[in-house]
Amino acid sequence: MPASSSRQVHWPACLCGQPFPAEIAMPDTFPLLYTRRLQLRQIGQADVPALLPVFADAEAMRWFGTDPVSDAAQMAQIVDLWHGWRQRPNPGTRWGVALREGGPLLGTCGLFAWNRGWRRATLGYELGRAAWGQGYMQEALQAVLGWGFDQMQLHRIDACIHPDNTASLKLARKLGFVEEGRLRDAGFWLGQYHDLLQFSLLAPEFAARQAAA
């Protein structure tokens, strides 16, 4: 393009750091979701005691992408951060995962970094050790993915998983995520860089699996 041209170049959001116009609004009311065994609800400061053992578990957190939480004050800051997600230009929603009849949170899951112009968001989740091996997170994520493709009108949902996190890799594949490649040294936590495997799930793929089920 000649230097004298008055034409404006509109760079993609990922290049210029600016969000696309908010074509799809984040609902004002927090979306409460139910599955056969679970409820997915808003997380509050009252949940800090239940979440602290989850996020302080050094073995489990080695896959999460951050260092383990050290105390309740730090956990409270994370809860506040999740609340702020919904007000960001590229917003997100984090659900607390609990049994349908109530009780302390088993873990959390959510969709974040929502690029509304590209109809794309990223999936994140973790589950406390006591709830492992019972299919809870698969059940929760089915509901979250359905909400994302329906209410957020997403076309693509991303997930980045550590290559050694066998349980999470198995879960992503069960949900229909497709592995796209290896991101070298894409994360840094616990004092070192980590490779991550890039996965994605597209709306037509999710709809086909739902119809087959």
* pLDDT (0 to 100) of residue 79: 96
Residue whose entry in the numeric block shows the structure tokens 């929502």? 114
Distance CA 199, CA 145 (A): 14
Rounded to 5 degrees, φ, ψ at 192 are -150, 160
Name the DSSP class of 82.
H
Q: What does the pLDDT look like over 137-191, one tens digit per residue?
A: 999 999 999 999 999 999 999 999 999 999 999 999 999 999 999 999 999 988 8
Greater pLDDT, 213 or 57? 57
**What does the block give as tokens for 65?**
């992408």
pLDDT-based confidence at residue 64 (cuts at 50, 70, 90): confident
Question: Is the pLDDT assigned to residue 66 strictly greater than 90?
Answer: no
Q: What does the pLDDT look like over 107-150, one tens digit per residue?
A: 999 999 999 999 999 999 999 999 999 999 999 999 999 999 99
